[in-house]
Chains A and B, each alone.
Chain A
Amino acid sequence: MKREQALVEARGVSRSFATGRSRWSRRMVPAVRDISLQIAAGETLGVVGESGSGKSTLGRLLLRLLPPTSGQVFFDGQDLAELPRLELQRLRREMQVVFQDPVGSLDPRFRVEDLIGEGLDIHGLAEGKERSRTIARLLEEVGLSSDHRRRFPHEFSGGQRQRIGIARALAVSPRFIVLDEPVSALDVSVQAQVLNLLADLQRERGLAYFFVAHDLRVVAHFSDRIAVLYGGRVVELADRDALIARPGHPYTRSLLSAVAEIGVVDQGRVQLAGEPPSPLRPPSGCAFHPRCPYAADRCRQEQPSLSDRDPGHAIACHFPLDGSPVAPGGTKGQDKPEKKL
């Protein structure tokens, strides 16, 4: 079954993990719960959420580095679960991942050329002279020099190592890359270099990105659309501008108000009670209800489903905010906008 449009699609995907040491104390803990979303070719879907919200697990599910407990993941219209092993392996070329920690994800015993060439070898894409030409071209494409090929990862700075990680992902000419906190470990000035590089590569190669980060400023800069995760579910999904200007879920609103933005007066933060939910003891009904200032009885009992408030702006809340614009706080010296959630 071929589906048009979406390059990557998750349909009702859930994933649980087993905890406990013995068979008798083992429990299944849900990390991702019933998530459906699509990513088009050339698009960046950004994902924000606090630790434990399921964002990294979702990335691994999209790549089928993890099989879902239930639900389906499609790549280019093909159900990854139904693909024979060999075909899945072939498809892996098309989907790559770049991790946060460029130290931990690059084998220190490999030279740069072998780190980058590994994918070429596995998929039999280039050999001999062709292989070294490809590696030299990739190094230059990510802003390194082809003279770097014989060096080891420890000889590079954090930003350069992340460039090697990106070159490694690009080597097999993927169409989709999961970027899991790709700039979190980098200094601000270097972070900008890497974000610009990723944007250039996307334009030149038409890549689709699934971009995971805990820093909303980075996600907002980089994404076309943003999904907000809470307690393993998508609670809001919208175009970047709409999400930031007119958030509909109270959690999104509080997340936005928590961002320390330069030159923007703290406009009275939306205070949340308590802490993010423990996946071991998920709350009943809406997972956000224990911290939500608007929680009503219905929220404690019934899980809200994700539905469109405006076209393309989906919210999972029984009482979504009406979407009146949120002022960006005004600049210093101006009157503070009315405190309003």
Chain B
Amino acid sequence: MKGAPILQVTDLVVDFHTPHGVARAVDGASFDLSSGATLGLVGESGSGKSVSALSILGLLSPSARVVSGTIQFAGRDLLQLSAREFRRVRGKEISMVFQEPMTSLNPLFTVGRQIAEVVRHHERVSRREAWGRAVEMLRIVEIPDPENRASAYPHELSGGMRQRVMIAMALVCRPKLLIADEPTTALDATIEAEILDLLGEMQKKFSMSVLLITHDLGVVSRRASEVAVLYSGRIIERARTEDLFAAPAHPYTRMLLDSLPRLYERRDRLVAIPGAVPEPGKRPEGCRFRDRCPRVTAACAPKEPELENLAGSRFVACQHRLMPGELL
């Protein structure tokens, strides 16, 4: 069910102004998300995945600035919207779920009231009707006894229940795009699996597109139809999920997969990528994975490799990419 792109991010560049100077958190990232699809945005810390998401939501901190690029959503460039216009889009057409529901929910109000407030912000409805919508939404996300639970305060709910409340709040205005930033990272394994299932069901029910941001390739393999791999502020590989896992083309993707411990396949040793993701000010010239890459040659600098289209929906930014089945 691949449709036209609902979201198209092109050459996004985001700077952070710190006391130590300017740090380029996102450095020319481009990706798009087809209508109804789930794109997994994966990367390690410092790859720029969360900053990309916050840019789409217009929620960057005051110290950050979008230097260039466009973010096309449903026919307009989100970066051109005023703060006021953004408030009408956020929560209504684009919604988000974050990692830690406890810090995203207000501890002083009942969860029902917080969901109802979202409805009242975007639609002209009575308090009573908004409350009814909140209860209905809690039922949809499978919270038992929603009439009573709507009157509960966040601390009275478990971590899994709070994340369900966050999802209810995100979806109550039927957004077209949901951005989920590490939605299950703080949860226990069995609860994580339930929340991922719930996200899948909700996506079908409301025909949403989902941008799933995570560091966990296992979560991507379970949920996403397409994947974009970020490294140090740039996208270095993009593919359909099965293709990426079956035959990664970028040495970084290959090594990342080999560094994962597996349950059903005993590995004596994990592949460890030497060193660490470079900090924004210390990126090497040319390919930024160069210093850690076993395939590095003189050709990897000074020019930075562009994201090239291999075939179909496969893209890779590497001069020494791996052929299918090829090992490092």
Name A's B-contacting residues (CB within 8 A). Answer: 50-51, 157, 159-160, 187-193, 195-196, 199, 214-218, 220-222, 241, 244, 254-264, 266, 269, 271-272, 275-276, 328-329, 332
Contact = CB atoms under 8 A, between A and B. Distances in A.
Interface in B273-321: 273-274, 276-277
Interface stretch (B67-75, B121-129, B148-156, B259-267): B259-267
Chain B CB within 10 Å, residue with most, of A50, A157, A192, A220:
A192
Given A187-B276, A217-B261, 6 more contacts: A187-B277, A188-B215, A193-B272, A214-B188, A261-B218, A275-B160
B155 to A, nearest CB: 14
Given A50-B188, A272-B190, A192 B272 contact: yes
Contacts of A328: 263-264
Contacts of A160: 276
A192 B259 contact: yes
A215 B187 CA distance: 11
A86 B259 CA distance: 44
Interface in B18-62: 44-45
Interface residues of B, number: 43
Chain B CB within 10 Å, residue with most, of A195, A222, A241:
A195
A275 to B, nearest CB: 5
Interface stretch (B7-15, B112-120, B192-200, B203-211): B192-200
Given A50-B189, A189-B272, A192-B273, A262 B217 contact: yes
Contacts of A193: 272-274
Contact of A255 (B189, B221, B246): B189
Contacts of B259: 188-189, 191-192
B64 interface: no
A275 B271 contact: no
Nearest to A199: B269
B272 A259 contact: no
Interface in B228-273: 242, 245-246, 255-257, 259-264, 266-267, 269-273
Contacts of A220: 261-263
A117 to B, nearest CB: 26
A261 B262 contact: yes
Contacts of A217: 218, 260-263
B180 interface: no
Contacts of B272: 189-190, 192-193, 196
A221 B263 CA distance: 7
A192 B270 contact: yes
Contacts of B271: 192
A189 B266 contact: no
8 contacts: A50-B188, A50-B191, A189-B256, A214-B188, A220-B262, A257-B193, A259-B218, A263-B221
B63 interface: no
Contact of A196 (B197, B263, B270): B270
B219 interface: yes
A214 B222 CA distance: 19
A189 B272 CA distance: 6
